[in-house]
Amino acid sequence: MELIWLEDYLALAETLNFSRAAEARHVTQPAFSRRIRALEDWAGAALFTRTTHNVALTPAGEHFHSQAEILTRALHQLRRDTLEVSGRGAGPLSIAATHALSFTFFPKWVRGNDRVLALGNLNLISDSMQACEQMMLRGDTPFLLCHHHPNMGGRLQAGRFRSIVVGADSLVPFSAPGPDGTARWSLNGGAAVKYLGYSGQSGLGRIVAAWLAASDRSFALETIFTSHLAATLLSMARAGDGVAWLPRTLAEDDIAAGLLVEAGEPDLAIPIEIRLFRPVARLGHAAEEVWAAFERG
C-alpha cells in the first residue's frame, strides 16, 4: 500500500474521469490507471466500474471511500506531528478560504485577531468551495473559511468536522442601475431576467440554488453565464449584463459608489454565516493554538 494510491483513488472518486483525475494528480493517464489497478489488487476488489463513456464506484468502492478519506488525512497529520516533534515542522500553517472571503473578509478578520497574528506564519490558500473541501478531506490544510447556510449541503460531515461562526453576510441580488437609478434588471415579475449564476464548484452557488428551489418566487431567470468566482459575476453585474446574487461584503464598495443596486425586495436577500471548519480529530500543537485563538477571538 502507498499513500499516493489512496490520493489517486480519492481524485478519481471525486471526478469519475480518468483524464481529469490524472491531470489533478500531475501524472500521465497510463501511469494513473496503473496505480488505481495496484490499489484494487491490494484491496482484492474492483473499486470502479469502467465503460467506454462512464466511470462509477462499485459497492466496494463506495464502502472504501469514507475510510480512505479518514486514513489519508490521518497519515498526513501523523507526518506533520512527527515533523513538529522533531523540530522541523515550523513552516507556515495553512488556511483554505473561498475566493470571495479571501479578498474581503479574511484580511480584516486576521488583522483584528492579535492572538492569531502573534502565533506566527499563516499561509492563505484561496480556491473554490469544491477545491477547499477536497483539501480538507485530504488533510492538506487544517482549516477552511467559507460562507455557510444550513441548506447548502457539502462534504464536511458533522461527525468528522466541526465549525465556529466567525462572521455574518448576506447574498443579495444586485444589478447595475438604469438611467433612473433603479435596477436595470428588476426581479419584480414580468419577462425573464438575465441571470449571472454560479457553477457547481461554488459554495455560494449551492446556497443560491437551494434557496431558489425552495422559494415561492414570482420572477423568472434566464441563465446567460456561470462562474465559480463571485468577483467575475460582480464585474459582469456592474457592467449591466444581468442580475447576480453576491455577498454584500464583496459588493459594498460598488454599492457605495452607485455602481450596483438591489434588484428586488429585501426578502430576496439570503442571510448566511461565515464559518471556520476544522477536523474533529486532534490537530498539531500549532494548529490547536490557532483554533483556540480563533475561538476566543
pLDDT per residue of the chain (297 residues) written in tens, 0 to 9: 788 899 899 889 988 999 988 988 889 999 999 999 999 999 999 999 998 888 999 999 999 987 888 888 778 777 767 776 776 655 567 899 999 999 889 888 887 777 666 655 678 899 999 889 988 887 888 899 999 998 888 878 878 899 999 999 999 999 999 999 999 999 987 789 999 999 988 999 999 999 998 888 888 999 999 999 999 999 999 999 999 999 999 999 999 999 999 999 999 999 999 999 999 888 877 788 888 888 876
Question: Which domains does the chain show, CATH number per domain?
Answer: 3-84 (1.10.10.10)
CB 138 within 8 A of CB 74: no
**Count of C-beta atoms within a 10 Å radius of residue 180:** 7
C-alpha distances (whole Å) from 110 to each of 107, 131, 232, 249 are 5, 22, 25, 16
Do 142 and 119 touch, CB atoms closer than 8 A?
no
Is residue 15 within 8 A of residue 24, CB to CB? The reply is yes
